[in-house]
Amino acid sequence: MTKSKDIGLNKTSAWNSIDRKATDKLATEYMSLMRDAKTEREFVEAATVIAQAGGYKTADALSAEALPKGGKLIFINRGKNALIVRLGKRPLGEGVNIVAAHVDAPRIDVKQNPLFESTGLSLFQTHYYGGIKKYQWVTIPLALHGVIYDKAGKKLQLRIGEEDADPVFNISDILPHLGQAQGEKKLSEGVSGEALDAIVGHVPTDDKDDKTPVRTNVLKLLAEQLNVEERAFAASELELVPAMKPREVGFDRGLILAYGHDDRICGYTALRGLMDQKKEPERTQVVFLADKEEIGSDGDTGMQSEFLELVIERLILATGEKTTARQVFWSSMALSADVDAGMDPNYLDVFEPTNAATIGNGIVITKFTGSRGKSSAHDASAETLHKVLALLDEANVPWQVAEMGKVDVGGGGTVAKFLSKRGIETLDAGPALLSMHAPQELASKADLYACYLAYKTFLEKAR
């Protein structure tokens, strides 16, 4: 393992320039949200509550009726992504300011025909979601979140494993005494996708003739406690997530350990930046909370859907402007608010330190994404970088520039290319993390606050 000094541009700690009292307050609020919002549905619900407390009203993107008065609007798409809008003084045709973050996170999804029994245990068959290291998800406590319909056709939103009195679920691993064959495999192959079956029951029924008594007992409990029968799994959307609450890390409590920083840390700080605007904006401000980024931004709730077009067209109709969504986009600016990789002191050999992010040094500005030869990249222009960095400097927001890992080692994607495809002038900007995509990720409180300041400034002042 290579060790090196942390050198390069913009390596001044953000702690030296932020309001530490305000940072701690924001961190406390953020950790409370992260404890309760572990799925994209839950985050959208929580964001809606926060926005409504700030005077925002839900609106229907498909309706031709008048929009709620006040210019503070929430458009929700199928419960899994949302656009939160504050109308500005200037015409939409002059452009809008967008901060877009995704609110899905890597997890373990439950299959549609999941329940089986083996060796005195009942288990759920699963299919992992997003880019994970599979071995990190075994032996930890898991909670079951999601949607399922009961026998009466009522939609139930499950959340089992988060309270102290709740049971949790678990994926077992082979003991080291018998794990020689596993230990000889590549790390990526040590645990297979089909081996991520979660234990959900152990107690059998009293029927000695039942060939699968534990499985039968699980179904009995589901019927008694939730009025759910087995066929309901076919129409369910259930997710296994870490059953661990956010915690402060270090003697100084400067870091936050939590599930789903990627990318809810950006979603939350963008939302707070919008809520904390003091006056009616010049340009319309938009916070886009997207789904499905971890699997390519596809689907009707991902950034590649036309929900953004639908909402902009709805706003154009309401304002009576003679413009089009396409014209609005080509005059707009956006921050693709997503996380970057922080230099890890235990794995310095994969970073090029002069162009790598350091945790705690402020929001990370990423000119280009993609991998190796900038494959599948969004690559922002010098003009865009100049405009955004000037805004951040004017507002004394701590920032750094970085790319994700060495050229032939790293890479990654965000929603930026799907924004810029629409003609929106776009730049990636978000905090650095350690242990990205692990069940528990590390973020700096200083970076949390820097992102809040950056998104608030961008929404207010970008042109």
**Model confidence over 321-361: pLDDT tens digits?**
999 999 999 999 999 999 999 999 999 999 999 999 999 99
CA distances from 324 to 310, 312, 313, 408 (A): 11, 8, 7, 42
**Confidence band of 2 (pLDDT split at 50, 70, 90):** very low
| CATH code (residue 144) | 2.30.250.10
**Of 242, 271, 293, which residue is a domain's last?**
242
* 266 neighbors 428 (Cβ within 8 angstroms): no
Q: Sign of dihedral through CA atoms 310, 457, 437, 246?
A: negative
Q: Are residues 387 and 291 in the same domain?
A: yes
Alpha-carbon Rg for the chain in angstroms: 23
Residue pLDDT, tens place only, 8-27: 455 689 999 999 999 999 99
Cis geometry, peptide bond prior to residue 408 (ω within 30 degrees of 0): no
Residue 265 and residue 455 in contact, taking contact as beta carbons nearer than 8 Å? no
Tell me, yes or no, whether 436 lies in a domain: yes
Q: Are residues 155 and 271 in the same domain?
A: no
* Assigned domain for 6 exists: no
Same domain, 268 and 393: yes
24 and 87 part of one domain: yes
Q: What's the average model confidence in pLDDT over 361-371?
A: 92
Q: Which residues of 296-331 are buried (b: 16+ CB within 10 A; e: fewer)?
A: ebeeebbbbbebbbbbbebbbebeeeeeebebbbeb
Whether residue 4 lies inside any domain: the answer is no
Packed helices 261-275 and 40-53: angle between N→C axes, nearest 10 degrees: 10
pLDDT tens digits for range 370-411? 888 888 889 999 999 999 999 999 999 999 999 988 898 877
Q: Is residue 347 part of a domain?
A: yes
Q: What is the mean pLDDT of residues 165-194?
A: 96
Q: What was the pLDDT predicted at 413?
A: 86
Q: Which pLDDT belongs to residue 371?
A: 81
Judge whether 330 lies within some domain. Answer: yes
Question: 423 and 445, same structural domain?
Answer: yes
pLDDT at 63 over 60: yes
Q: Which domain holds residue 186?
A: 107-242
Residues 152 and 207 in one domain: yes
350 and 325 both lie in a single domain: yes
Contact yes or no for 263/105 (Cβ under 8 A): yes
209: number of Cβ within 10 Å: 6
**Does a structural domain hold residue 2?**
no
Distances from the Cα of 365 to the Cα of 4, 69, 165, 454, angstroms? 23, 36, 43, 11
Same domain for 82 and 145, yes or no, is no
Packing angle of the helix pair 261-275, 445-461 (nearest 10 deg): 50
Mean of per-residue pLDDT scores for the chain:
95
Strand-pairing partners, residue 121, are 118
Q: Do 318 and 367 lie in a common domain?
A: yes
- DSSP reduced 3-state for 92: helix
- Burial (Cβ within 10 Å: 0-12, 13-18, ≥19) of residue 219: middle
Q: Which ranges in 120-260 belong to alpha helices (H)?
A: 180-183, 213-226
Decide which of 242, 268, 287 is a domain's last residue.
242
CATH number of the domain enclosing 276: 3.40.630.10
Report the pLDDT averaged over residues 130-150: 97
pLDDT-wise least confident of 148-162, 248-262, 371-385, 386-400: 371-385
Helical pair 20-36 and 261-275, crossing angle rounded to 10 deg? 120
In a domain, 8, yes or no: no
Per-residue model confidence (pLDDT) at position 411: 79
pTM greater than 0.85:
yes
pLDDT digits (tens, 9 = 90+) for 183-222: 999 999 999 999 999 999 999 999 999 999 999 999 999 9
Instruction: Looking at the structure, tell me whether residues 44 and 141 fall in a common domain.
Output: no
**pLDDT value for 370:** 81
The per-residue pLDDT for 377 is 84
Residue 65 in this model has a pLDDT that exceeds 90 = no
The answer to whether the CB of 160 falls within 8 A of the CB of 166 is: yes
Number of domains in the chain: 2
Q: Does the structure show a pLDDT above 90 at 81?
A: yes
Q: What is the mean pLDDT of residues 105-132?
A: 98
In a shared domain, residues 95 and 19: yes
Share above pLDDT 90 across residues of the chain, in percent, rounded to a whole number: 92
Does residue 340 belong to any structural domain of this protein?
yes
Q: Are residues 455 and 321 in the same domain?
A: yes
